[in-house]
Structure 1
Amino acid sequence: MEITAKSVITCPECGHAKEEQMAANACRFFYQCENYYSILKPKNGDCCVFCSYGSAPCPPVQQKRNGC
C-alpha cells in the first residue's frame, strides 16, 4: 500500500482545514491554526497532530499499519 505524503488538518476549535505536507520519517507535535491561531497538540495516545486531526496519519504510523 502506498504511503500518503499529505494530510488535511482540521482545527477542532474553528473547523478550519488546510492540506499540509508531512515529513517522511518524523512526527509533528505542534501545529498552529491559521484561522483561529490555536496551537494544536496530539491527543492522548497519538504520536502527532496528523494522527489526531489529519485526514491521514503520519508516514511512520502508515508504515507500521502496512507492515513495513
Structure 2
Amino acid sequence: MAETVLESILTCPHCGFSKQETMPTDACWFFYECEQCKTLLRPNPRDCCVFCSFGTVKCPPIQQQQPCCGQ
C-alpha cells in the first residue's frame, strides 16, 4: 500500500486563495474558513470532507480506500 500523504493545498473556489494544511488522520474537516475572503467552505455533494472537494490530495481514509468519517 502506498504511503499516506498528509499535506494538501486547499484552494478557495470563491477567491482562489490557497493554503497548505496538514490533514488529520483521526477526524474529518467538514468546514473550512478561507483566510482571505472568510467564505465557509463545505464539501461538495458526494465528497466526505473539504480536502476531497478543494484539496490537491484526498483525505487519508480515501487514500487508503476506506470509508471516510463523513460517509
Q: Does TM, normalized by the shorter one, top 0.5?
A: yes
CA distance in 2, matches of 1:28, 1:37: 16
Unaligned runs of 5+ in 2: 67-71
Give the drift of 1:24. Answer: 1.1
Does residue 60 of structure 1 match 2:24? no
The residue that corresponds to 1:26 in the other structure is: 27
Alignment identity in percent?
A: 49
> Larger helix proportion, structure 1 or 2?
1
State the alpha-carbon separation in 2 of the partners of residues 25 and 47 from structure 1.
14
Q: CA RMSD in A?
A: 1.0
What per-residue deviation string (whole Å, max 9, x for no partner) do you get for residues 11-68 of structure 1?
0000000000101132210000000000000000000000000000000100117xxx
TM-score normalised by L of structure 2: 0.87
Q: Give the length in aligned residue pairs.
A: 65
2:51 corresponds in structure 1 to: 50
